Structure 1
Amino acid sequence: MIQGIGASAGIAIGRAFVLPNWEWELPEQKIDVADFAREFERVYEGIRTSKSEIEQIKDELREVVGSDETQIFDAHLAILDDPVFMNEIQGIIQRQYKAAEVAVKEAIDHFVTMFDLLDDEYMKERALDIKDVGNRLLKHLLGAPEITLPSDTQPFILIAKELSPSQLAHINPQHVLGIVTLAGSTTSHSAIMARALGVPLVVGIEMKLEEPIQTGQNLIIDGGDGAVYIEPDKGIIDSYTELHRLQAEAKKRLHDIAGFRPITPDGKTLELAANISSFKELEVALSSGAHGVGLFRTEFLYMDRNRFPKEEEQYEVYRSVAEKLGGEPLVIRTLDVGGDKQLDYFELPEEDNPFLGYRAIRISLDRQDLFKTQLRAILRASHHGQVKLMYPLISSVDEVRAANAILNEAKRELEQEGIPFDRGLKIGIMIEVPAAVMIADLLAQEVDFFSIGTNDLVQFTLAVDRMNEEISHLYEPYHPALLRMLSMTVEAAKRHGIKVGVCGELAGDLRALPIWLSLDVDELSMSSHSILQVKERLLRTSQKDSREVVLKLQECRTSTEILELLQSFMERVGSKTANG
């Protein structure tokens, strides 16, 4: 047995197919000064074609894994637009009189080597992104074909030194049972995509192999614990075959409960909604038993284009989602860009602390023309379903009132134009910053509902940038301070008779379920892929027991103590689930 690192859970049993390395050896090829313009144009054309391919991959994958995971390819597009990368290529052509493909290859090698030398796992993973983008560009310059996977044979386990997101995007899960990469880590973009696609993945086995895996060898891989068996004996095969069968049955059980109401054994209803970014994601959400959409991230309508979307474009999308939901709730969050979400055509200022800067509702209140266009589209869509409106990153009562003033202007305009909308449209806000928590009682008197965005609330409460690898270990969602923030927010909402939900990552974390049941929140909104797992556990978890365990949490002083208590409790609940 080879012990690797489990990066995407699941068991795969089958024959190996070893993917050839996507590399080229290029002979030195000198050019004349007169050829510079032609070589530059070849690079530009290669970049245009590469960007078009990446956009197509994004569109195809978004239907399967959702928009969050396809943001991986935004990083690839950014590399192709990076002037530093382009300047390096042009410099090699001009200074060393080298052909375009040679210059691109040397630029790739330069940046990959530079990142690989850094003692930082995150930066090493970004080296793979550069290699992936560079190889795509090289492929076009050389006119080389894609390396394709076998599709007319039995399903196989794919073996590769590294696997780029571009290569993974072309994988058909019906043909690929699982994946093993010699390098890589659980934080790589490929690992993120494999989890989204539901393909078992084991990484990091290169130093453990005495000899290379060969195409055709029998393998068993366990993407949960990282085990890889080469030519396993009958006992191992029988054991893992049974485990695989049990996992398949568990997966089927999840789909069987898609239509069940989300009610605890002692009668607490906790609605489970979906976070989506486009109409295409809605089908997956509904098939998972989602009770409507708790968060429609509208910023994705603004991305992957060269101008702001017009009112009619937005209205058509919002209306389509509202009608498809057939009366189920649709919470539309207004534009939330800035921070880590940029628009190519909207020049946002360079900021030292963009997460604390010009973003979300601050942009909307500053650019009232853009804001009113979106509000008009949402209002018009409200005529076609149970639409609700939500403002992001609210930190004061003044912001809510200013946003509502613009909303009322939009309402008056539509009335004058004779365009119908829901005059009882519910208005909510995201609770994402500590200031909003501290004045939650005041904010609750201004709006109809709260939605707690745990991702930002954790990083702002703990002053930890969750994207910074140096301090990511300090990003602790179960910190005692956060539990107090959650309690304060929900209590304020309940005291003033408004609904409260959760739409951050913690909403889909099984360990947090007792907290939401104890606090008596009304809704959890999460990735569609998490809904069935949360529902199964919810059907077995009583609100009474949850309150008892959360009382004990209040005595805990550290995140570790809190997690141990929650995990122990949920393991007992999970055991009841497994035993029926």
Structure 2
Amino acid sequence: MGKANINMTFDIEELSSLFEKSNSLDDFLQAAVSVVAYHMRAAVCSIYSYDEASRMLTLRASQGLNRNAIGKLQLPLGQGLVGRTLKELCSVCVGCVSDSSDSLSIEGLGEERYKAFMAVPIRRQLTRVGVLVVQDVQPDYFDKTDEQVLETIAVQLAAVIENADLLMGLHRKKDTLEPARAKAASGLVKGRPASDGVACGKARLLVSGRAGRFRVPETMPATLTMEDFDRALAESERQLQKMQFDAGEALSDVAQLIFNAHLLILADEEFTGGIRRQIQQGTPPVDALVATVNQYVDIFSASSNPRLKEKEHDLKDLGHRLLENLVGGGRAHVDYSGQIILADTLLPSDVLKLATEKAEGFIIQGGITAHIAIICRSLHKPMVMVDPEVFGLIPENWELLIDGTQGTVFIKPSSEVLAKYEELRQAASMQETSPAVKAETRTADGTSIHLFANINLLSDLELANKFRVEGVGLYRSEFPFLIRDTFPMEEEQYQIYRRIVEAMDGREVTFRTLDIGGDKLVAHLGEVEEDNPFLGLRGIRFLLQNKDIFSEQICAMLRAGSGGNTRIMFPLISSVDEFVEARELVQNCMKVLDGRGEVYNHETKLGIMVELPSAVAQAEDFARVVDFMSIGTNDLIQYMLAVDRTNAMVSRLYLSYHPAILRAIELVAAAGRKHQTDVSICGDIARDPKMIPFLLGVGITKLSIAPRRMPDIQQAAEAVNMDEAVCTALQMLKFSRISEVEAFLEGRSIR
């Protein structure tokens, strides 16, 4: 029977009728492939479904292939002709499968005799649903018209599958969230990686920073007295003082007085006295505590003062601590050991407090916020970001395993999964204990590559030295500002910066001046609200408008550099004028220090972060006047591609290998070479081994990365031949399409 293309397309009603006659989605899909095979006059028709969480395709239905493979055969996104179809969201038509380098031979599938292959993606708008495939024994059997017909069928299938999912959801017996949660529990939840590492523990839900509205527990001791409350009060104060001391010892640069608000509330006679008065009047201690905490919560939340609103989190946390000490149940040591924190939002200070209270890791709802992710990395706490609809499916108190490197959450992980991750954890621990890092990094042909560390907290320094870094390529100075209730004064800043210089013992240290705004907010700036903070008062703009703060920081950095090898770098520079103005302020600070008789580094070098399109366009102009340039690819990608990296809806467009980004990096590197200006790179692109040949090929041999990434990046650099790297860079710079770069990086042929 020959093909009759004009009659091939069947309408949505035909597919709908198939669904109505089916007992399940699988039954419907099996009926659909039979009908599609008939209409297409194809020997084989198959449907693969896609799971975003695992990024795997599963054979769900087939007419013509081995039926035993249905539900068992899985392919990773991008693998084989089927995986490639869905990854690139484009149709693939091959006249003879054996001639394609992307073809896979799968034993037992029964497709060896089929030559012609055509696949089209099934998608709902931009959401990947699956792949529709037809095959035939006759080579070159399918043509352009067949492709158009199959694409039309795929669109119709997507609509029916979507409706099928909705209808089957409505017909479930239990009208609760449990079926959805059971579905999540049967596999894994895919989020976005934010902080590397693996952690296991029970889910602990903290809404708006702490566990929702404060309420009376379901069970509690029958008789509690004033003496029990006083005991709970004293125990809570002792615990908080100890945690404050421990945090100050381990994280002196950012954790000083982070539990100060808790202790002040405990010392407030109105707060504790109000609870006592209610107990004296006959109110049970638990009820009195809950009522008083909620009274203060209402006052704080209704306040127009953002600093007071923020204290609502501290108040709830304190209330839960008092309650747990009062009823004697709760946490034996009042900590979060063995627990994974689920939160809709967290402040930097919340992360520090929870880490001090031994939380194992974090699952945060929404887009990636840089300051939270960076703090978690420095604290070695894994973090995964998930979308709101996924966040609601993770049940509280269930066992979780989170993989912050892959952005994966396992709910009720199997023993096999736990064993696999325990092996990975032990391997990572051994690497940190005895890191296989050489003192010098050289390519395969002997070119020196310089690996520097990104430092966020002073606690990073020990690891940086252990991994034998050549210096600090980026110290993010904003974290002491982000955590504290007030700006640290010059002397406090000096003490922090000086410890970094001393730890590096003559090695180069680059301080970046305060970079706040965008997704890095400082609560004690006052009530500053911007419609678009990423395009507002941040980075150098904030500093030039607040020169008293800027001057204090510059004086501290200059003083800390005495006897060392230090540089100061200005963030978010958009014009040469801004750099010149900042340089003049540094010169004025030097005069102030001279007048005070202070010692400082007179040879401090001054440079800029290249992270705006305007800075790229003026790269040569900057190269003439600065001492160095460091490419901050994280913000550069965001601003060049107009992609808010904290917005989950568009975060997939945040691509370090976009052709425009590659060309921008090369343009800055070329300007540096021309004017003999030092150029380095300090964004996340430098931690991607696949991008190392390109970076070296355009002449950037100075990379600043998280200390933990040193072994991987050193190994990647050592495998590079510089002549080949130059060719790689030239080839990548010629590409005009993202898909071409992706294919090149994955080693696939480019059409």
Q: TM-score range by the shorter chain?
A: 0.5 to 0.7
1:26 to 203, 216, 229: 216
1:197 is aligned to 2:376 = no
Alpha-carbon shift at residue 226 of structure 1 (Å)? 6.4
Alpha-carbon shift at residue 297 of structure 1 (Å)? 1.5
- 1:453 is aligned to 632
Structure 1: distance between partners of 2:745 and 2:535: 32
- 1:136 is aligned to 317
Q: Do the aligned partners of 2:444 and 2:719 also contact (CA within 8 Å) in 1? A: yes
Structure 2: distance between partners of 1:159 and 1:371: 38
Alpha-carbon shift at residue 283 of structure 1 (Å)? 1.4
Structure 1: distance between partners of 2:342 and 2:680: 43
Report the CA distance shift for 1:403/1:454 in structure 2 as closer, same or farther (over 3 A): same
Report the CA distance shift for 1:261/1:140 in structure 2 as closer, same or farther (over 3 A): same
- 1:262 is aligned to 441
1:500 is aligned to 2:679 = yes
Q: Which amino acid aligns with 2:585?
A: I
1:368 to 516, 532, 547: 547
1:101 is aligned to 2:285 = no
- 1:538 is aligned to 717
User: Alpha-carbon deviations, 1:303-361, whole Å to 9, x = none?
Assistant: 33343333222222222211121001110112222233333332363222222222221
1:354 is aligned to 2:533 = yes
1:481 is aligned to 2:660 = yes
SS in 1 for 2:500: helix
Report the CA distance shift for 1:348/1:171 in structure 2 as closer, same or farther (over 3 A): closer
Alpha-carbon shift at residue 200 of structure 1 (Å)? 11
Structure 2: distance between partners of 1:489 and 1:249: 38
Q: Do the aligned partners of 2:243 and 2:356 also contact (CA within 8 Å) in 1? A: no
Report the CA distance shift for 1:563/1:140 in structure 2 as closer, same or farther (over 3 A): same
Report the CA distance shift for 1:101/1:326 in structure 2 as closer, same or farther (over 3 A): same
Q: Do the aligned partners of 1:194 and 1:201 also contact (CA within 8 Å) in 2? A: no
Structure 2: distance between partners of 1:195 and 1:423: 31
Structure 1: distance between partners of 2:420 and 2:249: 32
**Structure with the larger helix share:** 1
Alpha-carbon shift at residue 413 of structure 1 (Å)? 2.9
Q: Do the aligned partners of 1:62 and 1:280 also contact (CA within 8 Å) in 2? A: yes
Alpha-carbon shift at residue 227 of structure 1 (Å)? 6.6
Which range moves more in the overlay, 559-568 or 311-320? 559-568
Alpha-carbon shift at residue 263 of structure 1 (Å)? 1.5
Structure 2: distance between partners of 1:550 and 1:10: 31
1:3 is aligned to 2:187 = yes
SS in 2 for 1:554: helix
Report the CA distance shift for 1:426/1:18 in structure 2 as closer, same or farther (over 3 A): closer
- 1:283 is aligned to 462
Unaligned 5+ runs, structure 2: 1-184, 219-232, 266-286, 298-309
SS in 2 for 1:330: strand
Report the CA distance shift for 1:438/1:418 in structure 2 as closer, same or farther (over 3 A): same
Report the CA distance shift for 1:191/1:550 in structure 2 as closer, same or farther (over 3 A): closer
Report the CA distance shift for 1:337/1:213 in structure 2 as closer, same or farther (over 3 A): closer
- 1:511 is aligned to 690
2:562 to 383, 394, 398: 383
Report the CA distance shift for 1:4/1:341 in structure 2 as closer, same or farther (over 3 A): closer
1:330 is aligned to 2:514 = no
Alpha-carbon shift at residue 394 of structure 1 (Å)? 1.0
Percent identical: 29
Alpha-carbon shift at residue 100 of structure 1 (Å)? 6.7
Structure 2: distance between partners of 1:171 and 1:6: 27
User: Alpha-carbon deviations, 1:337-387, whole Å to 9, x = none?
Assistant: 223333333236322222222222122222223222222222222213111
Report the CA distance shift for 1:556/1:55 in structure 2 as closer, same or farther (over 3 A): farther
- 2:151 is aligned to none
SS in 2 for 1:383: coil
- 1:39 is aligned to none
User: Alpha-carbon deviations, 1:403-422, whole Å to 9, x = none?
Assistant: 11121122223334443333
- 1:307 is aligned to 486
- 1:431 is aligned to 610
- 2:7 is aligned to none
Structure 2: distance between partners of 1:307 and 1:429: 27
- 2:523 is aligned to 344
Q: Do the aligned partners of 2:367 and 2:645 also contact (CA within 8 Å) in 1? A: no
Which range moves more in the overlay, 478-487 or 272-281? 272-281
User: Alpha-carbon deviations, 1:88-130, whole Å to 9, x = none?
Assistant: xxxxxxxxxx96726978999xxxxxxxxxxxxxxxxxxxx99
Structure 2: distance between partners of 1:362 and 1:566: 37
Report the CA distance shift for 1:230/1:349 in structure 2 as closer, same or farther (over 3 A): closer
Alpha-carbon shift at residue 62 of structure 1 (Å)? 7.4
Structure 2: distance between partners of 1:418 and 1:191: 37
Q: How does 1:394-413 map to 2 (within 5 A)?
A: 394-413=573-592
Report the CA distance shift for 1:62/1:465 in structure 2 as closer, same or farther (over 3 A): farther
SS in 1 for 2:528: coil
Structure 1: distance between partners of 2:413 and 2:514: 51
SS in 2 for 1:279: coil
- 1:40 is aligned to none
- 1:33 is aligned to none
- 1:466 is aligned to 645
SS in 1 for 2:523: coil
Q: Do the aligned partners of 1:499 and 1:522 also contact (CA within 8 Å) in 2? A: no
Structure 1: distance between partners of 2:481 and 2:342: 37
SS in 2 for 1:477: coil
SS in 1 for 2:474: strand
SS in 1 for 2:478: helix
Q: Which amino acid aligns with 1:273?
A: F
Q: Which amino acid aligns with 2:187?
A: Q
Q: Do the aligned partners of 1:388 and 1:427 also contact (CA within 8 Å) in 2? A: yes
Unaligned 5+ runs, structure 1: 29-44, 81-97, 109-128, 570-580
- 1:442 is aligned to 621
Q: Do the aligned partners of 1:298 and 1:333 also contact (CA within 8 Å) in 2? A: yes
Q: Which amino acid aligns with 1:435?
A: S
Q: Do the aligned partners of 2:623 and 2:677 also contact (CA within 8 Å) in 1? A: yes
Structure 2: distance between partners of 1:391 and 1:10: 31
Report the CA distance shift for 1:436/1:191 in structure 2 as closer, same or farther (over 3 A): closer
Report the CA distance shift for 1:171/1:346 in structure 2 as closer, same or farther (over 3 A): closer
Q: Do the aligned partners of 1:202 and 1:227 also contact (CA within 8 Å) in 2? A: no
Alpha-carbon shift at residue 529 of structure 1 (Å)? 2.4
Structure 2: distance between partners of 1:266 and 1:550: 17
Alpha-carbon shift at residue 477 of structure 1 (Å)? 2.2
Alpha-carbon shift at residue 536 of structure 1 (Å)? 2.5
Q: Do the aligned partners of 2:205 and 2:343 also contact (CA within 8 Å) in 1? A: no
Structure 2: distance between partners of 1:229 and 1:27: 26
Report the CA distance shift for 1:160/1:468 in structure 2 as closer, same or farther (over 3 A): closer
Which range moves more in the overlay, 513-522 or 188-197? 188-197
Alpha-carbon shift at residue 434 of structure 1 (Å)? 0.5
Alpha-carbon shift at residue 390 of structure 1 (Å)? 1.0
1:321 to 462, 479, 500: 500
1:294 to 473, 476, 483: 473
Report the CA distance shift for 1:440/1:59 in structure 2 as closer, same or farther (over 3 A): farther
Alpha-carbon shift at residue 432 of structure 1 (Å)? 1.0
- 1:32 is aligned to none
Q: Which has the higher contact order (CA 8 A, sep 6+)?
A: 1
Structure 2: distance between partners of 1:191 and 1:489: 26
Report the CA distance shift for 1:521/1:441 in structure 2 as closer, same or farther (over 3 A): same
Alpha-carbon shift at residue 486 of structure 1 (Å)? 0.8
